Amino acid sequence: MHPMKDFPVRKLKFDFHTDEKHPPVWSESSPEFSIFINALGVHVPYFERFLIKVMRAYRDELPDEKLKKDVRAIIGQEAHHAINFISWNQAMVRRYPKLKNVEEDSKKYFEHAIEKQTKKFKIGLTAGYETFTFLGGMIILNRYDELMGRADPTIRALWVWHQVEEVEHGAVAFDFYKAFYPDNEWYRRGMVLFAFAHICWETFKAYAIMVKVEQYYDSPKKLWKAWRFFGSFAFDFARAAIPVLSRKYHPSNHPICNEQQNPLAVAWRDYYRKGNDAHTLTDHKIETLLNSKPTSI
């Protein structure tokens, strides 16, 4: 079954404020990925709250009951994402105090957009942003071993859960936009480009703070490695977005998202559905869930 069909709301809540320490640079497989995805995540929960407000404001205008159901589901998923990532941001601010200003600026940007921007801009920005959260989900899951094969079990669990759900609801914001503006493809494409630029800028600001604290500037080799990773991941985002600009595009038909699903995503969904605790993903748990036989839905 396609991953975007009949997706549930999973009410996970991670605790990052216990005595157990979760290192901000949490992936041994790719420390630079840890910093990059943490930097990306600084502003994302405020976009997620923006999305929730936009969809709640206009969902009653939708004639399609199936889409209304999907909108309720994405609101539920994104609400839980935002709670957890704001909590993780608070934990990271202890390591990177200057992140607080970046986080506050992001919050203000999306609050201003809700208050001052047009309906079309808000729905278009939602669709544009969700283009990249969806694509990021697929890219990261497909590169799991390289990026977080050896990692802190709790933070790895947080990001696997997040990426799985971003793929599941990856078509909803697109369908929401098309329900209101079915023939305005140029505006949609423009908002994809606008969202890409905004995501890169917000991530850049946080990433620069983090790599400095982690002393990457003390070594030209480490500094080159850090910024090369940033550039290569941004390039991967841009390359994956090329099909998005087609008039015939729909997220469910993107070349990297189809019936041939990511094995980790399939296994994780089944693992959660069986009632297992998904708040940590140890190496043993990963091995177990990948080797288990999926149940039918």
User: Mean pLDDT over all residues of the chain?
Assistant: 93
- Over range 25-40, report the average pLDDT: 96
Percent of the chain as helix, strand, coil, to the nearest 5? 70, 0, 30
Whether the pLDDT of residue 240 is over 90: the answer is yes
Structure confidence at residue 18 (pLDDT): 54
- Over range 27-49, report the average pLDDT: 97
C-alpha torsion sign, points 33, 34, 39, 41: positive
Structure confidence at residue 68 (pLDDT): 96
pLDDT band per the 50, 70, 90 thresholds, residue 294: low
Residues with Cβ within 8 Å of 285's Cβ and at least 6 positions away in sequence, in order, are: 153, 271, 276
Structure confidence at residue 105 (pLDDT): 97
Tell me the percentage of the chain whose pLDDT exceeds 90.
84
Whether the pLDDT of residue 295 is over 80: the answer is no
Structure confidence at residue 36 (pLDDT): 97
Axis crossing angle, helix 119-142 with helix 31-58, rounded to the nearest 10: 150
pLDDT band per the 50, 70, 90 thresholds, residue 99: very high
Structure confidence at residue 150 (pLDDT): 95
pLDDT band per the 50, 70, 90 thresholds, residue 6: confident
Report CA-CA distances (Å) from 100 to 89, 192, 209.
Answer: 9, 27, 11
Least confident of 88-102, 193-207, 280-294: 280-294
Whether the pLDDT of residue 161 is over 80: the answer is yes
- Over range 193-197, report the average pLDDT: 97
pLDDT band per the 50, 70, 90 thresholds, residue 109: very high
Structure confidence at residue 60 (pLDDT): 96
Axis crossing angle, helix 153-168 with helix 263-273, rounded to the nearest 10: 100
Structure confidence at residue 20 (pLDDT): 61
- Over range 110-139, report the average pLDDT: 96
Q: What is the pTM of this model?
A: 0.94
pLDDT band per the 50, 70, 90 thresholds, residue 255: confident
pLDDT band per the 50, 70, 90 thresholds, residue 259: low
Phi (first) and psi of residue 53, to 5 degrees: -65, -40
- Report the largest interatomic distance among the alpha carbons of the chain, rounded to a whole angstrom: 58
Structure confidence at residue 253 (pLDDT): 86
Structure confidence at residue 4 (pLDDT): 78
Whether the pLDDT of residue 217 is over 90: the answer is yes
Least confident of 124-133, 163-172, 281-290: 281-290
Whether the pLDDT of residue 2 is over 90: the answer is no
Give 296's DSSP letter.
P
Tell me the percentage of the chain whose pLDDT exceeds 70.
96
- Over range 142-159, report the average pLDDT: 95
